[in-house]
Structure 1
Amino acid sequence: MPAPAEARRHVSAEELRRVVLASVVGSFVEWFEFSVYGYLAAVMGRVFFPASEPGTQLVASLAAFAIAFFARPFGGLIFGPIGDRYGRKSVLTATIMLMAFATFFIGLVPDYQTIGIAAPLLLLFLRLLQGASAGGEASGAAIFVAEYCADKNRTLITSWIEVGCMCGFCFGALVAALLSHVFSAQQIDSWAWRLPFLLALPLGAIGLYIRYRLDETPAFKAAHRERAPGGFRELFATHFAALLQSSGIIIVTNVTLFIVVTYTPTYLVSTLKLPASTGFTIALISQGFLIVTIPILGRIADRIGRKTMMLIGSIALLALALPCFRMLTVESELERLLALLGLNLCLAALLSCIYSKIPSLFDTSVRFTGMAISYNVSVALFAGTAPMINSWLIQATGSTLVPAYYLMTAAAVGIVALLACQDRTGQPMRGDAPNR
């Protein structure tokens, strides 16, 4: 194990605020652009896969959503070593540009009726570019902020990145809800679905401007004055247990994220047959609750420990997933809302800690590569595919409770991983000098 890095330069409160703002805004932009497809999955199925039955259209559309996650590990393999060798800032600049252009061009792709099979093929190619971008974004934003902030409040400060991500998701739901209120179904299918994707370019330009003005993290500079980045050999030789622990924690967090936040609006509309405006409104309210709760639980976790907070969230998810999904199937809108609030509270306990927990498992020299690989492989195999798999299983089995069992399985994996890992709440991240 390498010696701790030398003492880092002092970071002023103003500089830290700029770093957090840049990461929050950048994450908002990235995740709005990435997630808006999920909210419009049913529409995208009709536009790009019109020859299929409605159920098959949805599965095909969600498959196009999931395929971006298979590009994420490749993005992690590319951007992880770049981030460890050349700096975290360079990756954050590249990923937001790639995401903005890929999303913008999705909004320009002609539909199936115009260019035939070329339409879904172009869609898949652009989704792959989005996935490659996301492969570097999540890890980069988390590490960038975690390496800047003090040990004593790292959970709270990094939790604001997830607030930015969830605001992006929430904005995607808001745009989808506005589309359903303002335009007819025929107008949405014809052209209005393009509007959220075309927003990518101006939003990306704002995020790029804010990120470009940042300096590299003090921890990265201090570590690179001492030694070269470790590379894949060091990562797998000295951090294999950390990779497994990280993967388990990421599975429970991101499976919950993509089922509760991304898939549930589609589930309410396509599976439970709620009106689109009702489904999106319920989802929007519960996501607002999630956004408010994340930093509150982040502050609490800095006191009771990240491991404790994430165990509470995972155990609660294991216990509540089935009752909550049963409540979603009843006719009462209030019960449906309460069910989503319960699931989002479990999710908030996980999201509040994830961006401080995972970076702390790895030494500075392999931190970006380690987080990028474990994060993106886990998300690609288990989380990004969750909407597609759940939609297919519901269609195959006829059971509307399939997502609950999927969540319970993920919760069990997360509990095992959390019990095995060390809690560094209030302490330096692995290999770092103390930062008071």
Structure 2
Amino acid sequence: MNAQDVAAPESAQLTGKATKTERKHLRALSWGHALEWYDWAIFGLLSSYLGAHFFPADNELASTLNALAVFAVGFVARPLGGVIFGSIADRLGRRKIMIFAIAAVAFGSFVIGILPDYETIGVAAPIIVVAMRLLQGLSAGIEAPLGTAYALELVPNRPGYVSGFFGFFNNLGNLLAPLSIFFLTQILTGDNLAEWGWRIPFIIGGLFGLLVLWLRATLPETLDVDTARAETAQKKASSSAIWADVRKYWLSVLATVFIVGAIQAYNYTWIAGLPNLARAAYQEDPSAVFGITTGFGVFMTLGALALSKVLDRFPMSKVFVIARILAIPTIFLSLLYSAPGIGTFAGVMFGGAIVLLLNMTIFVTVSNSLLPKHIRGTGLGLGYGVGVALFGGTASYLLLWLQGEGMFWVFPVYIAILCAISVILYLAAKKRNGIFVGK
């Protein structure tokens, strides 16, 4: 095991400021994160429009559920993408994989934006949408876990700063999604938005990907590729060696599944589930819904930036445990929105924002801390992908389905249990294996 893979002692001092070059590299990585989150939020927020064009059904709620099912399909590909590309990144380097990841996300977004609808090309339309979501799922499976691992390797002495920096851009992507739709609702009539205006945010996302590709081309490689190749030559199968170490840290990988899955289920409830519940089930005014989600995004974005200034003052492990325990009662705020009422919708959205902000800012860094550097691509790709696929990608669909079945109360109980399990597994993995980032 390499020297840098030794678990960080609890008393490790995290000092120093990020240099200009380090901040440049972080921006190249984090703008890609912003685009990924923008893309996934756009698909979730516009599911009612996508459903009508690509997945026609007898009523609007059924069409929306069909589109959200495809939203979930994209998550199914994440574990596969994380495993395949994470293993490659652990053997051959980070940079090329991160360039591929953003190219796939941008391409998928652009294709969905220009794709003819079901009435024009028939069954080919939903097939292509599903194919694009699978492609984006493969890339997204490695974008967040490897991107954060890459950043922590570039700026190893400021995990809190990296968390807040990435949190700012992640939330910026979430903010730009409803903000772009909100502006469209002010410019276009409801009929124009439903007919063709919904395509504009997807096309913008595809074009913006070209800029991110250019930025990422300037990134340095953090993995010693020559050493990795030499080790590959010395071993019969380097992939087998990597997987042997992943199995050694199986408890850390399992903890990552729930650390990621629990808070992503909470997150997608707030950024996609509740807004779609307001639009499709309760028929709230679209401008009001998108205006509230935009305000929510502003809070999350600026809040993450503020956290980047202070997180390194506190042990990350303690911050995580406190934040995750607080998420357990907070998720029950969703029960208040059990009937139409735009004021209640706003209250629930902002009532859960503070706890969600803290959890969403640190969860990927906390997951990184449980695994040594040489297997982070593979281990995090697997744990992150499975967690998001099982719990995050299904959250919006499950929320709407339970609401339609009159069992809405089951949903917050489910997420509260996930949060509790994540704390237990994190503490167990930390005790067994130690932590490798922060303290």
TM norm structure 2: 0.89
Aligned counterpart, 1:344? 353
Asked whether 1:191 is paired with 2:204, we answer no
Using a 3 Å threshold, how does the CA distance of structure 1 residues 47 and 223 change in structure 2: closer, same or farther?
Answer: same
Work out whether residues 268 and 274 of structure 1, in 8 Å CA contact, stay in contact via their aligned partners in 2: yes
SS in 2 for 1:52: coil
Where structure 2 has 5 or more consecutive residues not aligned to the other structure, the ranges are 7-15, 233-237
Counterpart amino acid of residue 117 in structure 1: V
Q: 1:37 aligns with which of 38, 43, 47?
A: 43
Offset at residue 348 of structure 1 (A):
1.4
Counterpart amino acid of residue 30 in structure 1: E
**In structure 1, what is the Cα distance between the partners aligned to 2:38 and 2:311?**
27
Aligned counterpart, 2:85? 79
Which residues of 2 match residues 110-125 of structure 1 at below 5 A? 110-125=116-131
Asked whether 1:140 is paired with 2:146, we answer yes
Work out whether residues 29 and 216 of structure 2, in 8 Å CA contact, stay in contact via their aligned partners in 1: yes
Offset at residue 406 of structure 1 (A):
3.4
Offset at residue 226 of structure 1 (A):
8.6
**Percent identity for Structure 1 against Structure 2:** 26
Using a 3 Å threshold, how does the CA distance of structure 1 residues 384 and 75 change in structure 2: closer, same or farther?
Answer: same
SS in 2 for 1:110: coil
Aligned counterpart, 1:169? 174
Offset at residue 204 of structure 1 (A):
0.5
TM norm structure 1: 0.89
How far does the alpha carbon of each residue in 1:74-127 deviate from its partner, in whole angstroms, 9 at most, with x for none? Answer: 211221011111111111101111111111011121111112222111111111
Using a 3 Å threshold, how does the CA distance of structure 1 residues 6 and 157 change in structure 2: closer, same or farther?
Answer: closer
Aligned counterpart, 1:19? 25
Greater CA drift, 203-212 or 239-248? 239-248
Aligned counterpart, 1:200? 205
Q: 2:429 aligns with which of 418, 421, 425?
A: 421
Offset at residue 310 of structure 1 (A):
1.9
Aligned counterpart, 2:11? none
Greater CA drift, 37-46 or 410-419? 410-419
Offset at residue 184 of structure 1 (A):
2.3
Counterpart amino acid of residue 159 in structure 2: R
Aligned counterpart, 1:288? 298
How far does the alpha carbon of each residue in 1:307-348 deviate from its partner, in whole angstroms, 9 at most, with x for none? Answer: 2222222222211222x2244347765554343223121111
Asked whether 1:70 is paired with 2:80, we answer no
How far does the alpha carbon of each residue in 1:244-279 deviate from its partner, in whole angstroms, 9 at most, with x for none? Answer: 121121122211121112322212222333111111
**In structure 2, what is the Cα distance between the partners aligned to 1:102 and 1:295?**
29
Work out whether residues 254 and 383 of structure 1, in 8 Å CA contact, stay in contact via their aligned partners in 2: yes
**In structure 2, what is the Cα distance between the partners aligned to 1:185 and 1:84?**
48
**In structure 2, what is the Cα distance between the partners aligned to 1:12 and 1:332?**
46
Greater CA drift, 89-98 or 297-306? 297-306
How far does the alpha carbon of each residue in 1:154-190 deviate from its partner, in whole angstroms, 9 at most, with x for none? Answer: 1222321122121111111112222222222321232
Aligned counterpart, 1:372? 381
Q: 1:385 aligns with which of 394, 408, 417?
A: 394
Greater CA drift, 284-293 or 266-275? 266-275
Aligned counterpart, 2:418? 410
**In structure 2, what is the Cα distance between the partners aligned to 1:328 and 1:221?**
52
Offset at residue 147 of structure 1 (A):
0.8
Aligned counterpart, 1:274? 284
Using a 3 Å threshold, how does the CA distance of structure 1 residues 375 and 112 change in structure 2: closer, same or farther?
Answer: same
**In structure 2, what is the Cα distance between the partners aligned to 1:182 and 1:373?**
43
Where structure 1 has 5 or more consecutive residues not aligned to the other structure, the ranges are none
Aligned counterpart, 1:233? 243
Using a 3 Å threshold, how does the CA distance of structure 1 residues 201 and 256 change in structure 2: closer, same or farther?
Answer: same
SS in 1 for 2:283: coil
Offset at residue 402 of structure 1 (A):
4.6
Work out whether residues 76 and 376 of structure 1, in 8 Å CA contact, stay in contact via their aligned partners in 2: yes
RMSD across aligned C-alpha pairs, in angstroms? 2.8
How far does the alpha carbon of each residue in 1:341-395 deviate from its partner, in whole angstroms, 9 at most, with x for none? Answer: 2312111111221232112211222111100000001111111111112212221
Using a 3 Å threshold, how does the CA distance of structure 1 residues 158 and 327 change in structure 2: closer, same or farther?
Answer: same
Counterpart amino acid of residue 293 in structure 2: A
Query: How many pairs are equivalent?
Result: 423
How far does the alpha carbon of each residue in 1:220-254 deviate from its partner, in whole angstroms, 9 at most, with x for none? Answer: 56974995566443233321111112112112221
Offset at residue 62 of structure 1 (A):
0.3
Using a 3 Å threshold, how does the CA distance of structure 1 residues 156 and 220 change in structure 2: closer, same or farther?
Answer: farther
